Amino acid sequence: MTTKNIHEAELAEVREIGENQAEFVVRPLYYGYGNTLGNSLRRVLLSSVKGAAITAFSIEGVTHEFTTVPGIREDVVDIMLNLKNIRFKMHTDAPVELTLEIKGENQSEKDGDKRVVAGDIKLPAEVEIANPNQVICHIDDPKYTLKMHFVVETGRGYLTIERASEDRIHSDMIAIDAVFTPVLRVRYKVENTRVGQDTNLQQLTLTVETDGTITPREAFEEAAAILVNQYTALAGATRVESTPAPGSNKEEEDSGLLLPIDELNLSARTANALLNNEIKTIRDLVTLSESDLKDLKGFGQKALDEVKEKLTELNI
């Protein structure tokens, strides 16, 4: 079976397979498009979906990261690694400054050390933490009071520590390389499929896992929208006609619209006026408004009334 147009992709199924994890099944695809769509969506999901992360922090009494903190079990480098694992959801694009202050007394651990977690950070209304149990450090001196400040920013992909250092809001803070992407893992599988007698088709199954600050569906749709924007800009004014996916409801709905104008049994004068204006199918016709039709060369009110009557008969 050969086709003149590449048919549209169709999201056939969305399966929730775990917490913050889902499978997206796209079928049937034009042959070869399983890898084309799967690879491009995977790359964008992992690199370009918007997220939030800590980009700088400070600990009272600490001037640089290569040191230890009296009263804290971990050194500053270990604390930095823990801070990178805190997952934020931001309701603003502006950088937000957060604070944490906690005393070592009333130890929460059997060994006498007090555990400090992400949930201890004071949050404004525009910031949420998806993993409040993420450990930041342990206070091993009951007389010590930990005071920290953080800058949380939104971004895409990965921010190197060199770039974070250059763009610091506060020069006295310690910069930290940030992983903004809220997508943890993406994998895809391409299989052959068929619709009726057409066996030259493919199915794409894309599995997406996020960190809880965004749903897999939100991430999937954002990645697709990013690709659409990029390719639309490159395509300029060029448009390629597509057809509905084989076996889809849209194909059944559109099949009648693809019929030639001759099928309306219009008068020769009206039919010729439409054909002379490059209106060759019923779909070409129904995309035009009444004012558009009136502006057509050689198409008057009588022809308009005739077309409206015919379309009403066909319930279009």
pLDDT tens digits for range 60-71: 988 888 888 899
Does CATH number 3.30.1360.10 belong to domain 11-49+183-235? yes
Task: Please tell me if the domain spanning 11-49+183-235 has the same topology as the one spanning 259-313.
Answer: no
| Boundaries of every domain in the chain | 11-49+183-235, 50-179, 259-313
CA angle (312, 274, 314) in 5-degree steps: 15
What CATH architecture applies to the domain 259-313?
Answer: Orthogonal Bundle (1.10)
Range among 184-193, 232-241, 248-257, 275-284 rated most confident: 184-193
Rounded Cα distance, 59 and 63, in Å: 8
What is the CATH topology of the domain spanning 50-179? RNA Polymerase Alpha Subunit; Chain A, domain 2 (2.170.120)
pTM over 0.75: no
Written as one letter, the residue type at 92 is T
Residue-level pLDDT at 291: 76
Q: How confident is the model at residue 2 (pLDDT cuts 50, 70, 90)?
A: very low
Give the lowest-confidence range in 100-104, 154-158, 282-286: 282-286
* DSSP state letters, 167-204: T-SSTTSEE--EE---EEEEEEEEEEEEETTEEEEEEE
Convert the pLDDT of each residue in 26-37 to its tens digit.
988 888 999 999
Residue range 108-134: mean pLDDT, rounded: 88
- Calculate the average pLDDT of the chain: 86
